[in-house]
Amino acid sequence: MTDKAATDLSCFKAYDIRGRLGDNLDEDIARIVGQGFAEALGARRVVLGRDIRASSESLAAAVAEGLTAQGADVLDIGLSGTEEMYFATTALGADGGICVTASHNPMDYNGMKMVKAGSAPLDPETELGAVKARAEAGGFAPAAKPGRVIASDDVRGAYVERVLSFVDVAALRPLKVLVNAGNGAAGPTFDAIFAALEAAGAPIEVERLHHAPDGSFPNGIPNPLLPENQPVTAEAVVAAGADLGVAWDGDFDRCFLFDATGAFIPGEYVVGLLADAFLAKEPGAKIVHDPRVVWNTLDVVTAAGGEAVQSRTGHAFIKQKMRETNAVYGGEMSAHHYFRDFVACDSGMIPWLLVVELMGRTGKPLAELVDARRAAFPSSGEINFRVEDVAAAVARVEAAFAPGAVARDDTDGLSLAQADWRFNLRASNTEPLLRLNVEARGDAGLVAQKVAEITALIAG
């Protein structure tokens, strides 16, 4: 084991692990992370999954070595989405779960997402911190009885059954759906879900794009949130004459939607759509949202008689808030969608199914379901800035707008609201970026104006 493996654990981020291969993440580091996870959590049975990246198989094998060295049995679900690890951790009664994935990060990165028993997130300060501290300390004594690696790839059937429990197949109407897996891990899992839909008589037609898992990512890293990556799906939707387009990132825990014209639907409007759908089924329920873009969600939830609950951005914080409040659904504008009845975790497969059901129930195309909301509450989309001094940039923006603000919120970064527009400015939890979101009441021109003003202030 190298000295670097024992000392450089800068791959530990705010709520998961993400590092550059050969720099702050390699097999040695993965092994001691596995050992630290087993010891810090007292885990004896751990679910292990991985995405399709070229490095994921060897990193997962190293994690398994670390876990078994400390006496933990590894329940190996193989190539899978992060959400399949979440589901399997509870379904198999494990003490924790790890998915080796870098999701949408560049080719030379990888990472790990972790949960404890019950698929609950690790507390960033205490539990994830304890895993890091134990891994940094090293000096692991081998277990008296090493653990075993047990193939557990038969859990997908139960996962598919749970996912399909969210929709009434009888409510589905004939629709054509274009799906773009981006050569990530989504393809095989989608095929299992769609086979079950067909067997249940769902009148859905599917066209697949970039479907085969391929760790070389011949069509680029799957990150449909980037505007430059959206035209390939948009054009395919139009060419196929599809009613709906669906695209996923590498580990498919995020789901991105396109209407029949190929228009990309920003995540905050999908949050409002799904919140409304859940409140129709469970009046008065709690809906968790992040603080970046909120006005559309608040308007929808209030009108539907629900209770909106704000959380810090990030999957660990959203999941914790959902568990604390028993919220039925939680959503982030970044296209993470969380479901109480899916172990309070995020899924990239449940959202598109719910939207297909909603289109079937209402008889309306997706554009008609969201266009009025987009006009009522236009937003900028998240704009990223690389700045040398984040604190100074935020201070300039605060000085300019705080004196006239009618509301301020510091839940996550700086949120300031005027009567007719609002912004959130926050440092990324996972990347060296400053992120800006601006929203307004019925005035897209005002959004553009305020983005320009704040951009100038950030630039100094």
- Tell me which residues are annotated as active site: 103
DSSP string, 191-238: HHHHHHHHHTT--EEEEEES-S--TT-TT----TTSGGGSHHHHHHHH
Q: Which amino acid is at 92?
A: L
Q: For residue 408, list its beta bridge partners.
A: 416
The Cα–Cα gap between 3 and 43 comes to 26
CA–centroid distance for 194 within its chain: 22
- Residue identified by tokens 């557990």 is 152
Q: Please, what's the largest Cα pairwise distance for the chain?
A: 67
Burial class (CB in 10 A: 0-12, 13-18, 19+), 327: buried
Torsion-angle region of residue 119: left (phi > 0), alpha (psi -120 to 50) or beta?
Answer: left
* SS3 at position 178: strand
Cβ atoms < 10 Å from Cβ of 46: 31
Cα torsion for 410, 414, 415, 421, to the nearest 10°?
170
Cβ atoms < 10 Å from Cβ of 213: 20
CA–centroid distance for 298 within its chain: 21
Contact 38, 70 (CB under 8 A): yes
* SS3 at position 11: coil
Identify the DSSP state of 75.
E
Rounded to 5 degrees, what angle do the CA atoms 180, 186, 187 make? 75
Sign of CA dihedral 29, 35, 40, 41: positive
- Residue identified by tokens 């087993």 is 38
